[in-house]
Amino acid sequence: MSGFWRSRMPVNEEAIKEFGSEAVPGHLKRWWFALGGTPAYLFIVQVFTGILLTFYYIPNPEKAYDSVRYITETVPFGWYIRGMHLWGSHLLIVAVILHMMRAFFTGTYRKPRELTWVLGVLLLLLMMGMGFTGYSLVYEQLSYWGATVASNLTESAPGIGPILANFIRGGAEIGENTLTRFYIFHIAAVPTLLVMVLAGHIWMVRTHGVKELHFEDEEESEKGTFPFFPNHFLTELLVGLVLMVLLSTLSVVFPATLADPANPLVTPEHIKPEWYFLFTFRWLKLAGTDMAIATMGLFALLFVGWPWVDKLLRKKNPSSEASVLIGSLVTLGLVGMTMWEIFSG
Ligand code: HEM
Ligand 1: centre distance to CA 133 (Å): 24
Q: Which residues lie across from 23 on neighbouring strands?
A: 227
Q: Is the model more confident about 229 or about 277?
A: 277
Output the average pLDDT for the chain: 93
Residue 298 has pLDDT above 80, yes or no: yes
96 lines ligand 1 (CB under 6 A): yes
Distance between Cα 184 and ligand 1 center (Å): 27
- Ligand 1 centroid to 340 CA: how many Å? 29
Query: Among 99, 206, 210, which is best to mutate for testing ligand 1, by the most ligand atoms less than 8 A from CB?
Result: 99
Q: Is the pLDDT of residue 163 over 70?
A: yes
How does pLDDT run across 69-101, given as a tens digit for each residue?
A: 999 999 999 999 999 999 999 999 999 999 999
Q: Which residue has the higher pLDDT, 185 or 158?
A: 185
Q: Structural domain boundaries of the chain?
A: 25-215+224-268, 274-345
User: How far apart are the C-alpha atoms of 201 and 191, rounded to whole Å?
Assistant: 15
pLDDT at 31 over 80: no
21, amino acid identity: S
**Is the distance from the beta carbon of residue 41 to the nearest atom of ligand 1 less than 6 Å?**
no
Closest alpha carbon to 201 in 131, 147, 141, 123: 123
The CATH number for 25-215+224-268, chosen from 1.10.3470.10, 1.10.10.10, 3.30.1490.20, 1.20.810.10, is 1.20.810.10
37 Cβ inside 6 Å of ligand 1 = yes
Q: How far is the CA of 160 from the centre of ligand 1 (A)?
A: 30
The mean pLDDT value for 50-62 works out to 97
If pLDDT is split at 50, 70 and 90, which confidence band does 2 have? confident
Full-model pTM = 0.93
Share of the chain above pLDDT 90, in %: 75
- What's the pLDDT score for residue 36? 87
Pocket test for ligand 1, best of 102, 205, 276 (most atoms within 8 A of CB): 205
Mean pLDDT computed over 201-206: 95
Percentage of the chain lying above the pLDDT 70 cut: 99
Mean pLDDT of 138-144: 93
- Does 39 contact ligand 1 (Cβ within 6 A)? yes
The 3-state secondary structure of the chain reads CCHHHHHHCCCCHHHHHHHHCCEEEHHHHCHHHCCCHHHHHHHHHHHHHHHHHHCCCCCCCCCHHHHHHHHHHCCCCHHHHHHHHHHHHHHHHHHHHHHHHHHHHCCCCCCCCHHHHHHHHHHHHHHHHHHHHHHHHCCEHHHHHHHHHHHHHHHHCCCCHHHHHHHHHCCCCCCHHHHHHHHHHHHHHHHHHHHHHHHHHHHHHHHHCCCCCCCCCCCHHHCCEEEHHHHHHHHHHHHHHHHHHHHHHHHHHCCCCCCCECCCCCCCCCCCCCHHHHHHHHHHHHHCHHHHHHHHHHHHHHHHCHHHHHHHHHHHCCCCCHHHHHHHHHHHHHHHHHHHHHHCC
Residue 345 has pLDDT above 70, yes or no: no
The pLDDT of residue 176 is above 70: yes
Least confident of 28-37, 200-209, 240-249, 267-276: 28-37
Q: Is 40 in the pocket of ligand 1 (CB under 6 A)?
A: yes
Residue among 46, 106, 201 to mutate when testing ligand 1 (max atoms within 8 A of CB): 201
Give the Å distance between the CA of 257 and the centre of ligand 1.
32
Find out whether the beta carbon of 120 lies less than 6 Å from any atom of ligand 1.
Answer: yes
Using CA atoms, how far apart are residues 109 and 100, in angstroms rounded to an integer? 10
